[in-house]
Amino acid sequence: MAPERQAAEEPASEQIDRRLLELLVCPLTKTSLDFDPVRNELISRAARLAFPIKSGVPLMTVEAARHLDEDP
């Protein structure tokens, strides 16, 4: 499925600009992030943190992040 079409079919709260994802880095390690569409999070493997995306906006603070070694 084309990315443009897929984004149009996602609920508004789940949409995030793919170009923005390419520019974002982990606020702690400055390393790249992976997108987890199932949990709607940005994953920093280096920091072992998952940053939630709420209403299409990534919450890029340590306080908002979930530690990867924690249960969801």
Tell me what pLDDT residue 46 has. Answer: 97
Please give the model's pTM, rounded to 2 decimal places: 0.73
pLDDT for 2 equals 47
Tell me the pLDDT tens digit for each residue of 10-63.
Answer: 444 455 677 888 899 999 999 999 999 999 999 999 999 999 999 888 999 999
Q: Can you say whether the dihedral through the CA atoms of 34, 67, 64, 54 is positive or negative?
A: positive
Residues with Cβ within 8 Å of residue 53, at least 6 apart in sequence: 14, 16, 40, 41, 42, 59
Residue 72 lies inside a defined structural domain of this protein: no
At 15 the pLDDT is 59
Other Cβ atoms closer than 10 A to 5: 8
* 48 within 8 A of 69, measured Cβ to Cβ: yes
Q: Are 34 and 43 in contact (CB under 8 A)?
A: yes
Residue 62 sits in a domain of what CATH number?
A: 2.20.25.10
Residue 25 counted as domain residue: yes
The count of structural domains within the chain is: 1
Find the domain containing 35 and state its range. Answer: 3-67
Is residue 9 in a domain?
yes
